[in-house]
């Protein structure tokens, strides 16, 4: 009885590890896709209304379902102390801390925006946003392909490793 | 006139400064804060404060550098340069509370026009304050059968034109000493009403419609077309376009309240644009503001019979 319980636990542990790996892939794809949408949204707002960045960040930070809401809320809050910390530092810090799960390449695309956002005319900012959104879109497609290809593999692999351990231990 | 203002406007303005400069002003006595008219930041020098009697360097202030000057702009624009570029091109930046940042430096030119300031060399932060009694004695002298006559207010920069105009607008709109009237206010610099989220931060009266963020000429025309004003008010008429818009408004039976730079009546004849005021008969009253022993004195003249 105890053995069967142990075997079930090992099997479940392996399956959980596989699921975590698969989830991480899905999360990256979802995050990148959401960031693309957010950057496009900022681009449109700049083109149409020249909306100030605090208002934009605050609005994006209120989107409850969005996985990027916390990032934008943090940027909006950081702009309250803009006399103490410049926007570029607020943005860079938020990227580093809120998107620590993303690979450095993905984060670098966002970090580069700190050199342009809020510092130039709307056209230059829109150009930078559009370029970043395109690169993120490409990364999102890669991440989605990876998720489709490796997601199931991770799940099966976790289960297999669990089963293998059970056989070994028995 | 009472010069012992409260220091809240000063405190508001210090929030525009980077933290290292903000700290230096914390030690100023309240009376000094209340009397301060401007803060001046010049590259390579210590920050200074302007009082009615002159400019004084702030002791303990660090030497101002480029990062500090740009820091002020970042704070004032809420880290959104794209929202203020038009104003930067004009050399000033209106900020929340009706205060104004004057900008100086090396201009970036394109096709013969200023597109931006490449490097900043100095900033002047002008503190806006409300003085509710400013127009009390002046307004009765401008009335004709219960309506204000078209009036031009004249003084040198910093003489108190905007303060007087703001109080006249409030009195006309509230109906203090006359039947209340609808006032259309073209507030290009945002100094008169200091709109914030659509709400004036300064008291301009309940029947005042404010148009800001656009040129005076465009603002005047939009007010005239859309808001059916009985009085039109505008600060610092400086261009032929402003004059053309005022001319059109005057032809519609609207009373005008406007300000212009000048030290006296003679300046109206000296400058071509102001000579036009007289030639077209746009204004029937002239208010000249003079500063005597730290107090402002208002003198009202008739303009109807002026020679062209």
Residues 6+ apart with CB under 8 A from B125: B13, B16, B38, B39, B40, B41, B72, B99, B100, B101, B102
CB contact under 8 A, B74 and A118: yes
CB contact under 8 A, B79 and A53: yes
Residues B72-86 have a mean pLDDT of 90
CB contact under 8 A, B79 and A87: yes
Return residues 99-138 of B near A (CB < 8 Å): none
Contact A4, A133 (CB under 8 A): no
CB contact under 8 A, A79 and B78: yes
Look up the ipTM and state it: 0.74
Confidence of residue A132 (pLDDT cuts 50, 70, 90): very high
Instruction: Take residue B34 and report the two structure tokens written for it.
Output: 């209340």
Residues 6+ apart with CB under 8 A from B90: none
Instruction: Take residue B264 and report the two structure tokens written for it.
Output: 């006296």
Q: How many whole angstroms separate alpha carbon A62 and alpha carbon A60?
A: 5
Q: What is the helix (H) or strand (E) element at residue B84, kind and residue range?
A: none
State percent of chain B over pLDDT 70.
Answer: 96
B231 vs A13, higher pLDDT: B231
The string of pLDDT tens digits covering residues B182-241 is 999 999 888 899 887 788 988 999 999 999 888 888 999 999 999 999 999 999 888 888
- pLDDT of the residue at B204: 93
Residues B153-167 have a mean pLDDT of 90
- pLDDT of the residue at B39: 95
The string of pLDDT tens digits covering residues B98-143 is 888 999 999 888 888 888 888 899 999 999 887 778 888 999 999 9
Question: Which of B20, B22, B39, B82 would best serve as a mutation to test chain A binding (most A beta carbons within 10 A)?
Answer: B82
What order do you get walking across the sheet with B183-187 strand by strand?
B208-212, B183-187, B231-234, B255-261, B151-155, B285-292, B295-302
- pLDDT of the residue at B6: 66
- pLDDT of the residue at B296: 83
**In terms of CA atoms, which chain A residue is nearest residue B118?**
A120
Among candidates A53, A83, A84 on the partner chain, residue whose Cβ is nearest the Cβ of B80: A53
> Mean pLDDT of all residues in chain A?
90
Q: Which of A94, A106, A89 is nearest to A69 (CA)?
A: A94
Question: Which of B17, B78, B80 would best serve as a mutation to test chain A binding (most A beta carbons within 10 A)?
Answer: B80
- pLDDT of the residue at B308: 34
The string of pLDDT tens digits covering residues A150-168 is 877 877 788 788 888 888 8
The string of pLDDT tens digits covering residues B37-53 is 999 999 999 999 998 88
């Amino acid at each position: 009885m105890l053995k069967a319980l142990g075997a079930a636990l090992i099997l479940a542990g392996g399956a959980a590890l596989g699921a975590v790996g698969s989830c991480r892939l899905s999360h990256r794809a979802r995050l990148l896709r959401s960031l693309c949408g957010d950057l496009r949204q900022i681009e449109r707002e700049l083109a149409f209304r020249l909306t100030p960045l605090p208002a934009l960040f605050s609005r994006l930070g209120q989107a409850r379902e969005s996985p990027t809401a916390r990032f934008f809320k943090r940027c909006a809050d950081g702009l309250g102390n803009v006399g103490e910390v410049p926007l570029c530092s607020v943005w860079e810090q938020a990227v580093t801390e809120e998107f620590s799960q993303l690979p450095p390449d993905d984060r670098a695309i966002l970090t580069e925006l700190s050199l342009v956002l809020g510092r130039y005319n709307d056209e230059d900012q829109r150009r930078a946003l559009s370029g970043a959104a395109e690169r993120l879109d490409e990364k999102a497609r890669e991440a989605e392909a990876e998720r489709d290809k490796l997601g199931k593999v991770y799940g099966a692999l976790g289960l297999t490793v669990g089963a293998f351990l059970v056989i070994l231990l028995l | 006139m009472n010069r012992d203002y409260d220091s809240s406007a000063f405190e508001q303005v210090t929030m525009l400064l980077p933290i290292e400069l903000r700290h230096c002003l914390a030690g100023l006595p309240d009376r000094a804060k209340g009397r301060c008219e401007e803060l001046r930041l010049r590259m390579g020098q210590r920050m200074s404060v302007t009082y009615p009697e002159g400019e004084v360097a702030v002791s303990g202030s660090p030497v101002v550098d480029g990062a500090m000057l740009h820091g002020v702009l970042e704070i004032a624009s809420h880290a959104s340069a794209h929202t203020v570029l038009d104003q930067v091109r004009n050399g000033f930046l209106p900020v929340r509370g009706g205060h104004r940042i004057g900008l100086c430096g090396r201009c970036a030119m394109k096709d013969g026009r200023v597109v931006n300031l490449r490097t900043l060399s100095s900033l002047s932060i002008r503190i806006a304050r409300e003085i509710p009694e400013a127009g009390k004695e002046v307004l009765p002298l401008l009335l004709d059968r219960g309506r204000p006559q078209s009036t031009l207010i004249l003084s040198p920069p910093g003489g108190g034109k905007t303060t007087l105009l703001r109080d006249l607008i409030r009195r006309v709109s509230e109906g203090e000493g006359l039947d209340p009237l609808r006032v259309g206010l073209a507030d290009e610099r945002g100094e008169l009403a200091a709109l914030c989220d659509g709400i004036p931060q300064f008291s301009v009266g309940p029947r005042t419609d404010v148009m800001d963020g656009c040129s005076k000429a465009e603002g005047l025309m939009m007010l005239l077309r859309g808001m059916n004003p009985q009085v039109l008010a505008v600060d610092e008429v400086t261009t032929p376009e402003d004059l053309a818009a005022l001319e059109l408004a005057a032809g519609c039976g609207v009373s005008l309240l406007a300000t212009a730079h000048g030290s006296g009546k003679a300046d109206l004849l000296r400058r071509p644009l102001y000579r036009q005021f007289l030639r077209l008969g746009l204004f029937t009253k002239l208010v000249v503001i003079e500063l005597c022993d730290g107090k402002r004195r208002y003198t009202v003249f008739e303009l109807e019979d002026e020679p062209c």
